[in-house]
């Protein structure tokens, strides 16, 4: 099985940046509705992250639909391929709609949407109590829908990676590829074999010391009193 082709670097960076921002926004949103003492400060952080998510997802969607994506592994069938594409489009739609609905909800409440501490966003919905109620319920439902879609996405990737072992997760990882071994460690089949004349020369050079040792006269052992 050939290694799957990874997404471009910009796509992988946008993917993980979006994941971190979305998880942070959801976490603060769930904590915010159960916290009374820190509600105001958490609300400001939540709205700021929501606007950042909206901008990042818009850039990511533009990048996704203007560039070709790598081919899915061979373990992905026709039906699953349709589900993958459908879940991806659903995820983009929910990530774009969620911050827009939250922005409209704040506008309908009559309060300004302040992000980054002091930047007031323009109103995108009229002040209306009934509209605020509908948008608030929609914002909560979209949050649960986003959690469900993300859970399904992560489960499918882990299933392919851990069970089918088709490298699905490696398509979006940001780690460096393993570098090939050094050129000197590779014996190429195209390299010409050593010349036979050179081999004979090397063999003769290695034999000369042994020949000289065998043909040299024996030392005079009587001179030193070693002989009989």
What is the number of helices (H) and of strands (E) in the chain? 5, 2
3-state SS class at 128: coil
**In this structure, is the dihedral angle defined by the CA atoms of residues 73, 79, 81 and 83, taken in order, positive or negative?**
negative
Counting as low any pLDDT under 50, the low residues of the chain are 179-190, 199, 221-228
**pLDDT at residue 198, as a whole number:** 55
Question: Minimal CA–CA distance to 156: which of 109, 86, 226?
Answer: 86
Task: Say what the pLDDT of residue 185 is.
Answer: 47
9-171: CATH number: 1.20.950
8 Å CB contact between 45 and 39: no
In this structure, what DSSP letter does residue 121 have?
E
Q: Which candidate, 79, 83, 60, 95, places its Cα nearest to that of 172?
A: 60
Per-residue tokens: 129: 């109590």
d(CA 33, CA 212): 97
1/167 Cα distance (integer angstroms): 10
Domain-by-domain residue ranges, the chain? 9-171
pLDDT at 164: 86
CA–CA distance, 48 with 121 (Å, rounded to integer): 10
Collapsing DSSP to helix, strand or coil, 215 comes out as: helix
Specify the pLDDT at position 124.
Answer: 95
């Amino acid at each position: 099985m050939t290694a799957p082709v990874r997404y471009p670097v910009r796509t992988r960076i946008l993917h993980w940046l979006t994941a971190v921002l979305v998880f942070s926004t959801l976490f603060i949103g769930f904590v915010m509705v159960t916290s009374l003492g820190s509600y105001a400060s958490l609300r400001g952080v939540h709205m700021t992250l929501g606007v950042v998510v909206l901008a990042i997802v818009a850039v990511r969607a533009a990048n996704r639909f203007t560039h070709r994506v790598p081919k899915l592994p061979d373990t992905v069938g026709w039906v699953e391929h349709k589900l993958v594409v459908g879940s991806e489009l659903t995820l983009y739609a929910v990530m774009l709609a969620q911050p827009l609905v939250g922005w409209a909800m704040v506008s309908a409440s009559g309060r300004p949407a302040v992000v980054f501490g002091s930047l007031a966003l323009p109103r995108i919905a009229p002040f209306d109590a009934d509209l605020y109620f509908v948008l608030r319920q929609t914002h909560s439902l979209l949050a649960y829908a986003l959690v469900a879609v993300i859970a399904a996405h992560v489960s499918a990737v882990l299933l392919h990676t851990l069970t089918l072992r088709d490298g699905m997760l490696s398509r979006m990882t940001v780690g460096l590829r393993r570098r090939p071994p050094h050129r000197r460690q590779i014996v190429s089949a195209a390299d010409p074999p050593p010349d036979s004349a050179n081999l004979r020369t090397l063999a003769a050079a290695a034999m000369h010391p042994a020949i000289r040792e065998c043909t040299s006269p024996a030392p005079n052992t009587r001179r030193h009193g070693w002989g009989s």
